[in-house]
Every structure is written in C-alpha cells, then in structure tokens.
A = this chain, B = another copy of it.
C-alpha cells in the first residue's frame, strides 16, 4: 500500500520495516502518538516517515497489513486443514501467540477503514471457524457448544496469554488450549453436566 510500483532499494526497504516496528511500539503505548514520535523511535526524520507513508492513515493501514499477513501465515503454517483438531489447536495457538507478541497493537487494526487487514482477518476467522467445526465433529468440542462463542473466547484467551510474558510460548499455548477446552474448575457444582 506504500507505493508498490517499483521495488524499493534495499536501504529503503529496511527503513520501511524499521518505521513499522517503531510504530508498533509507539502506538502500542499510546495510540494517539504523533508521526514525530514514531520517527524518533525509528531513528529517522519525520519527513522520511512521510515519504514512505503518504499519511498517518496510510501508515496505520500498512502496519495492519503487515501484521495481518504474518497472522495469516502463522495460521496456515499449522496446516489446520489436514492436522487432527487437537494438534492443530495447539500448533495454531503457538504460532499465533508468537505473532501476537510481536504485533500486539497492529493485530487490532482490522477495522473497515482499511480493506486489506479487514479481508485477511476475515479469512483467518473463516479458517478458525472451520477448525472449530471439525473439532466439534470429532468430539473434541461439545456438540451443543456455540461455535461463535467458542471462537471469541479463544481469541480473548490468546490475547490474555500474549500479554503474560511470564509465560513462555509453549506454556502460554497450553494455558489457552487447556482453559478453552476444560476450564479452570473441577467440575463440582457445574450446571451443565460434563459430557459431549
């Protein structure tokens, strides 16, 4: 989205990446931060930021797009289509957590104001729903589970785990999967009896 007419020279490409990573950090701690702050964090002049990204909105769009693409790649790398649901769950979670820890802010940029991130996130969401459906068919998820609720809970738990840096990736993923599938309770006193 940042003038992809001719491939950038290597140093310019590096600058773009540096700016995007700086933007992630800066906007992460203050979403209303200025281009100036982003430039400073990236170690470049403000005009350079503006040369690479026509506007603040374009920068946010590119930031969201980069994160969204890595997000989609992380999901695809786990081959959720061909792997048994439980294994896929775990592997997808591990991969996504890595991306989510690298782009905690940018991964929330999928509003309708930027088409590409919105489209990519929608595709990933579809993949996720397919995985959940398969898990349900295989008896991993309850037959009466609300799959929308399940997916949203899954996303939320991933968000929590990504922010808990005292967990390494594998422990974080285990927490997410175990909690989503089995909760943190003993089952004593639950309204809904425990069976598929």
Q: How many copies does the complex hold?
A: 2
A149 near B164 (CB under 8 angstroms)?
yes
Chain A 112-140, CB-CB to B under 8 Å as 1, else 0, gives: 00000000000000000000000000011
A153 near B149 (CB under 8 angstroms)?
no
Q: A159-B156, A160-B156 are in contact. Are A187 and B179 (CB under 8 A)?
A: no
Q: Flag whether A5 is at the interface (Cβ < 8 A).
A: no
Stretch at the interface among A10-18, A43-51, A95-103, A188-196: A188-196
* Max chain B C-beta neighbours (<10 A), residue from A160, A164, A174, A192: A160
Number of interface residues of A (CB under 8 A): 40
Q: Flag whether A69 is at the interface (Cβ < 8 A).
A: no
Q: Quote the shortest CB–CB distance from A172 to chain B (angstroms).
A: 10
Contact of A181 among B139, B160, B175, B183 (CB under 8 A): B183
Taking CB atoms, residues of chain B closer than 8 Å to A153 are 157, 160, 179, 184
Q: Flag whether A152 is at the interface (Cβ < 8 A).
A: yes
B174 near A191 (CB under 8 angstroms)?
yes
CB nearest neighbor in B for A192: B178
B186 near A183 (CB under 8 angstroms)?
no
Bound Cα distance from A150 to B159, whole angstroms? 14
B152 near A185 (CB under 8 angstroms)?
no
A150 near B86 (CB under 8 angstroms)?
no
